Amino acid sequence: GEDVEQSLFLSVREGDSSVINCTYTDSSSTYLYWYKQEPGAGLQLLTYIFSNMDMKQDQRLTVLLNKKDKHLSLRIADTQTGDSAIYFCAEKGTGTASKLTFGTGTRLQVTL
Amino acid sequence: GAVVSQHPSRVICKSGTSVKIECRSLDFQATTMFWYRQFPKQSLMLMATSNEGSKATYEQGVEKDKFLINHASLTLSTLTVTSAHPEDSSFYICSAPPGLAGGIDTQYFGPGTRLTVL
């Protein structure tokens, strides 16, 4: 079955860049996503990348995809205290109504 | 953008009672909705796929008689936790794919329901 792994915790100083990594096993993934979850809240879609892309940049967010190694990363430039949250990567197979498989989540702590 | 709501946001109940959680897509129709469960400091685990007009599809290990799902309309799915016990205490989150008309192929998530069973 699918398996998606992330490191559990990352601490960065305000203003530095954060890089959150994710590895997955399903080579048939069509889309890969990054979601943000603040305490006690649902998930907010941050960005996504289609499986035939290598990189996508959206303001402070840069997503890199290495399909050969099944490795996905999210870089947050100029990290702010408001970025403190849990970040989940997720993969989706084919079909619009296909389920998502979530990573284990990375807790990002931003310090002053 | 696409919005998904859940009600209630928080519920506390006694052991043995049943609790109903609603999930609504507010500005789009969803023939499919997903129900997830999240334990503290853990990832989301898919419980079941709710299908409008047909039976829900449950993931392995999820008791369909305990977690009743009804997809009553194209904008509403309900999850009923029957005869709830303390081990059912969790954060329940629903999601719905808006379809490609939503611009991207993804799912939009509700804000979650915190269930505490005493």
What's the pLDDT score for residue B1?
59
**Percent of chain B whose predicted confidence (pLDDT) is above 70:** 92
CA–CA–CA angle B52, B57, B61 (5° rounding): 150
Q: Binning pLDDT at 50, 70 and 90, where does residue B104 land? A: low
* Residue-level pLDDT at B97: 83
A14-18, B8-12, B45-49, B101-105: which has the minimum mean pLDDT?
B101-105
Higher pLDDT, A3 or B61: B61
Report which residue type is found at B44: L
Q: How does the average pLDDT of chain A come out, rounded?
A: 90
Q: What is the pLDDT of residues A69-108, one digit of tens each?
A: 999 999 999 999 999 999 999 988 766 557 788 999 999 9
Partner residue facing A41 (CB), from B42, B97, B112? B112
pLDDT bin (cut points 50, 70, 90) of residue A16 is very high
Using the predicted structure, report yes or no on whether residue A45 has a pLDDT greater than 60: yes
pLDDT the model gives residue A94: 67
Spell out which residues of chain A touch residue B77, defining contact as CB-CB under 8 Å: none
How would residue A65 be classed by pLDDT, with cut points 50, 70 and 90? very high
The residue type found at A33 is Y
- What is the predicted pLDDT for the residue at B48? 94
- Residue A2: pLDDT above 70? no
Contact B49 A97 (CB under 8 A): yes
What are the pLDDT digits (tens) for B32-58?
999 999 988 888 999 999 988 889 999
Chain B residues whose beta carbon lies within 8 Å of the beta carbon of residue A99 = 34, 46, 49
Nearest-CA distance B10 → chain A (Å) = 10
CB contact under 8 A, B100 and A31: no
The per-residue DSSP string of B21-81 comes to EEEEESSS--SEEEEEEE-TTS-EEEEEEEETTS--EEPTT--TTTEEEEEEETTEEEEEE
Nearest CA in chain A to B6: A42
High-pLDDT (> 90) share of chain B, %? 69
Task: Using an 8 Å CB-CB cutoff, list chain A residues near B111.
Answer: 41-42
Q: Which residue of B has its CA nearest to A103?
A: B43
pLDDT of residue A97: 59
* Measured CA angle at B51 (ends A105, B30), to 5 deg: 75
